[in-house]
Amino acid sequence: MPPSTSRPGSRGGSSTAGGVLSSQIKVADRPVTQQGLSGMKTAMKGPQRQIMDKTYYLGLLRSKTNELTTEINKLQEEAEMYKQEKSVYLSYEKRAEALAGEIKEYQGQLADYNMVVDILNTSTDIAEVIRDYNVLKVQNDRDAQSVDKIFTERQGTEKLIQAVEEDIEHEKVVADDIVKDMSQADQAKYMEMKAANEKLSQELMVQQQELDALNVKEEALRAEIAHSQVKQEAVQLYEKLHELEERRDQMIAEDKNIESPQEERERLLKQARMQSVKDDSQEIASMERQLAEVKEKINHFKKVIQQLDMDLENHQGKENWKYKELKKREESIDNFLETFEDVKNQELERKAQIEANIVALLEHSSRNVNRMKQISSVTNEELKIMQEDLTFKSNEMQKSQSTAKNLVT
């Protein structure tokens, strides 16, 4: 238990909870001036504790400690209550999930019972019910196999995608290592080329979007002019005019750029007169040195670019191959899902046709069996009579044919 906050009174009078003595202060005793009430003077204050020693501050500290302890206990009780409520909520949530599963199961049983009641009320034949049950069972089994197959393919695709992503991350790490091993100049050049590549990619994306929009607009315009012969002829004439204008501009530009041999000779002579031979030699030597340095730098950068292109081509080749494989797999899955209903209906129709053929064959077999039974029931005497009758009728037919031939001849 915390120590009590009560303490003995001081010499100024009995102590209060805050350590300040009560005093009767009269408002009427305060001096009044022309500007209003004046501030209270210190001599007019009531008696207070004259000595604020260690005991005073210990008492004040104990009172604050008691308040903090009370508040901490209150917060602990609230936290404990929240924990209990949380545990109760989790148990209720689990119970609600279990009850939801039971309700779903009971709903399925109720649907089955309702179906049975409907069958009893409509006096449906049990054979028809069994036939419908078998059909539904076969269909459900087929659908379950199809779903399992699709699920398996999906898992395989997800694993393949994960493997591709891991390969991409690995290639990124390898590319970063290659960049780190480069010199400062090569790294700066690589970063510059990378920034230029990103910029060009963004520009390409923007231009691709513009191209798509223009293609859509072109398709709309073509669809619009497809119903008008006049508009089609106008478009053809406009395209022909545009081609002729481009050809004209090209020919004009070529004509302007072409110089005659005399003009070119005069221009070269004029340039030669403007500079002395010494200046030309020095400038040529300086330009040759600069050209050699530039060629060396160009060869170096070509090698670096070639190496980067080879690395990028290898990296992009693997990525493109894997992306194409994923795309083919996705297209096969989409085609399967799109043609699933048609194939299913065709298989059901083929099944119905096969069942009808089986029924017809069974009927034909039954008729043949009955005929065989009838034939087996004939006695030997009846068979002999039938053979003699057949022989007699065959002879009569031959005689009739010979008589007809004689009459013709």
pLDDT tens by residue, 110-158? 988 888 888 888 877 888 888 888 998 999 999 999 999 999 999 999 9
Residue 160 lies in a domain: yes
Looking at 83, 99, 121, which one is the last position of a domain?
121
pLDDT of residue 267: 64
In a domain, 84, yes or no: yes
Lookup result for tokens 């302890």: 69
3 state DSSP class of 187 = helix
Structurally, how many domains does the chain consist of? 2
2 and 148, same structural domain?
no
More confident residue, 230 or 103: 103
The answer on 90 and 1 residing in a single domain is yes
Distance CA 130, CA 124 (A): 11
Which of 291, 319, 337 is where one domain is finished? 337
The answer to whether residue 252 is domain-embedded is: no
**pLDDT confidence bin for 38, thresholds 50/70/90:** very low
Q: How far is the C-alpha of 275 from the C-alpha of 288, rounded, in Å?
A: 18
- Name the residue with higher pLDDT: 407 or 397: 397
Specify whether 87 is located in the same domain as 1. yes
- Considering the domain architecture, whether residues 147 and 114 belong to the same structural domain is answered as no
* Per-residue pLDDT, 334: 77
pLDDT for 11 equals 41
Residues 2 and 103 in one domain: yes
Least confident of 104-108, 250-254, 309-313: 309-313
Q: Rounded mean pLDDT of 63-75?
A: 94
**Domain co-membership, 62 together with 174:** no
The reported pLDDT for the residue numbered 7 is 44
Q: Same domain, yes or no, for 95 and 2?
A: yes
pLDDT at 43 over 50: no
Same domain? 138 vs 115: no
140 and 176 housed in the same domain: yes
Q: Which of 91-100, 147-156, 271-280 has the lowest mean pLDDT?
A: 271-280
| Residue 42 covered by a domain | no
- From CA 114, how far away is CA 128, in angstroms rounded? 17
Measured over the CA atoms of residue 165, residue 170, residue 174 and residue 177, the dihedral's sign is: positive
The reported pLDDT for the residue numbered 67 is 93
Whether residues 92 and 164 share a domain: the answer is: no
Distance (Å, whole) CA 329 – CA 153: 9
Residues 2, 116 within the same domain: yes
- Residue 78: inside a domain: yes
Q: Which of 140-144, 158-162, 374-378 has the lowest mean pLDDT?
A: 374-378
**Mean pLDDT for the chain?**
76
Domain that holds residue 59: 1-6+53-121
Q: Domain for residue 319, yes or no?
A: yes
Is the confidence at residue 283, as pLDDT, over 50? yes
CB 349 within 8 A of CB 180: no
Is 396 domain-assigned?
A: no
Residues of the chain above pLDDT 90, percent: 19
pLDDT beyond 50 at 286: yes
Measured between alpha carbons, how far is 142 from 148 in angstroms, rounded to an integer?
Answer: 10
Say which residue, 286 or 216, is predicted with more confidence: 216
- Residue 77 CB neighbours (<10 A): 10
The answer as to whether 115 is a domain residue is yes
Mean pLDDT of 242-261: 75
- Whether residue 116 is found in the same domain as residue 131: no
176: pLDDT strictly greater than 70: yes
Most confident option among 73-87, 170-184, 263-277: 73-87
Tell me which of 121, 149, 167 is where a domain ends.
121
Which of the four pLDDT bands, split at 50, 70 and 90, describes residue 273?
low
